[in-house]
Amino acid sequence: MKKTVTQLADGRELIYYDAGDAEARAAFADQRPLEAVYTTSETRFDPVQGEWVAVAAHRQGRPYLPPTNSCPLCPSTDQWHSEIPAPDYEVAVFENRFPSLSGIPAPADTLAGPLPHRAHLGGGRCEVVCFTSDHDATFAGLDEARVMLVLEAWTDRTAELCALPGIRQVYCFENRGNEIGVTLTHPHGQIYAFPYLPPKTARAQESAAAHRARTGRNLFDDVLVAERAGERVVLENSEWTAFVPFAARWPYEVHLYPNRRVGDFTRLDEAQRAAFPGAYLELLGRFDRLFTGRSAPTPYIAAWHQAPVTPGEARSELALHLELFTVLRTADKLKYLAGTESGMGAFMNDVSPERAAARLREVAG
């Protein structure tokens, strides 16, 4: 892998990842007259739920479904200067111009200010990951070599972002489809480096600690063993297993685990890396084949959960895994997060996990 680091006109970092030797990407300078990025992001603490909430009012002005000839994620041309100055690229990562997290180092004292109103400015970093220069591609349509390059980019960014001051967790994800709320249709994902522990990770950490105290075993290891022995396995190879979880929240939800537990992308060994592209592409392909008669690709969220940055026993108990789900329950019906889900956080699933797993096996490529 070749990594090329450069800057955009406003000082934001841009990184090109190429599978092999490529022309000097940094030779193409950003021609836009950009002003420095200004953010008003802050994080506020909810004392009732014990959770942090990011407030980023400046994001109201971000691009929304621009036409193809002015897509900010396509390579630059003589007629259009985008976020990618080079005329072509394989994988590119850059700091988001409209970040939910500000990038200013967070103060050492996370809980600043008097109760019940505690907040602080700054902290964290948001990046955009462009999987391909082809505007009309999808992740499922990439070849295995490109998926491996994306994996290398995720790994590199995880290592670098974990080393930044004040970062608690690095989260890689892809949103796809208008139904998800995607504002740019070019195939891309994002990486958030959180200055606080997100709620799902905090709860998983507590559950893993309680399971260890009760059984002497790792929670994620036990989940994987139980699921591999059951009826909800969707696909597996020598290094990875995908299954619909026993208590799936979404009508079609699949978790993908490496068969040997690791904390994050940086800990994957060569065998796990080599076996990843085929498994992931097949899984995404099955999501696109779920609903017959649908013209648009299946909308989904692909959420990569990694262990928190904080060293020690808590970090060693959590496991790298993917949670992939769609908001569709049929080809033309959405699973809305209505009164129980949005109001109480109590999910009500319309499809049994066993039936969802059977359907995902039926649409194997």
Write out the chain's pLDDT in tens, 365 residues: 999 999 999 999 999 999 987 778 888 999 999 988 777 788 888 999 999 999 887 676 666 667 778 899 999 999 999 999 999 999 999 999 989 997 766 555 556 677 788 887 778 999 999 999 999 999 999 999 999 999 999 999 999 999 998 899 999 999 999 999 898 999 999 999 999 899 999 999 999 999 999 999 999 999 999 999 999 999 999 999 999 999 999 999 999 999 999 999 999 999 999 999 999 999 999 999 999 888 889 999 999 999 999 766 667 899 999 999 999 999 999 999 999 999 999 999 999 999 999 999 999 98
Amino acid letter, 6: T
321 among the known binding-site residues?
Answer: no
Please give the CATH superfamily to which domain 200-362 belongs.
HIT-like (3.30.428.10)
Unique residue bearing structure tokens 């462009």: 130
71 among the known binding-site residues?
Answer: yes
Instruction: Report how far Cα 284 is from the mean position of its chain's Cα atoms.
Output: 14
Q: Do 2-198 and 200-362 have matching folds?
A: yes
Q: Which residues, 6 or more positions from 320, have their beta carbon under 8 angstroms from its beta carbon?
A: 257, 258, 261, 262, 263, 264, 265, 267, 268, 304, 305, 306, 307
CATH class for the region spanning 2-198:
alpha beta
| Residues involved in catalysis | 188
Among 172, 171, 170, 175, CA closest to 188: 175
126 among the known binding-site residues?
Answer: no
Domain positions in the chain: 2-198, 200-362
